[in-house]
Amino acid sequence: MLSGKTAVITGASRGIGKAIALELAKNGADIAVLFSGNHALAQEVCEEAISYGRKAKSYQCDVSSFAQTEAVVNEIVKEFGTIDILVNNAGITCDKLILQMNEEDFDRVINVNLKGAFNMIKHTYRLFLRKKSGRIINISSVSGLMGNAGQANYSAAKAGVVALTKTTAKELAAKGVTCNAIAPGFIYTDMTKEMPEEVLSEMIKQIPQKKMGEPSDIAHLAVFLASDSASYLTGEVIKVDGGLYI
């Protein structure tokens, strides 16, 4: 489905990003795995992708840095020849009520989750224009659509990702480039595994399907959005949340 394509996935060493990277590789794409801290985990993702017969390489990058993202995009293009698919998944949380949240808590989450997506789009924009093709997939969140107590920074960033997605889609639509967002709900990742059982139980009660999603649920949609089958779909925000926000 994606044979001959090169995909760049930020925050791809674990969780949703890892699932997306490997699903893209399973469907034929070569992958550039961007990570911020754990080189060993990023290498594991690359090795699994290579076992599928794909080319894969990891790159350490702080996506909140304009200079680092520019440098890594240039390096990827030099190594892979081009970029066809960009998945902006990198994200962090620092959950506190606004009363306890300080400026650094707010700025760091905005800089990684929102500015990071802008940085990566900015530095691949001309390439997509020249190619007159491309797929940009931004990972937002239902928290960015409905808000969530204790997540003023995260919800604001993810709401910003939605607006960034729609703006990018409008700017690039006539050039054959699509830009869509996925808004996950409660997904079972390493982060949620560490939550107390009673907290998870209360979360699940809020979900009409009465279960958490899996990273694969997001990955399967990402593959579709990256494919030719989604060529007439742009500027959309698709919730994958078991009915949490209807």
List residues with catalytic annotation: 154
Contact yes or no for 112/89 (Cβ under 8 A): no
Q: Give the Cα separation of 219 and 140 in Å (integer).
A: 14
φ/ψ region of 189 (left if φ > 0, alpha if ψ in -120 to 50, else beta) reads beta
pLDDT (average), residues 93-107: 97
Q: What is the pTM of this model?
A: 0.97
Percentage of residues of the chain with pLDDT beyond 90: 94
Please say whether the dihedral angle defined by the alpha carbons of residues 49, 21, 63 and 165, taken in this order, is positive or negative. positive
The CB density around residue 70, as the number of other CB atoms within 10 Å, is: 14
Alpha carbon dihedral 14, 236, 214, 111, in 10-degree steps, equals 30
- Name the pLDDT band for 226 (thresholds 50, 70, 90): very high
Contact present, 239 and 162 (Cβ < 8 Å): no
**Confidence band for 190, pLDDT divided at 50, 70 and 90:** confident
Q: CB 154: neighbour CB atoms within 10 A?
A: 24
According to the CATH classification, is domain 6-238 in 3.30.70.270? no
Identify which of 85, 79, 165 has the alpha carbon closest to the alpha carbon of residue 127: 85
The pLDDT value given to residue 200: 86
pLDDT at 196 over 90: no
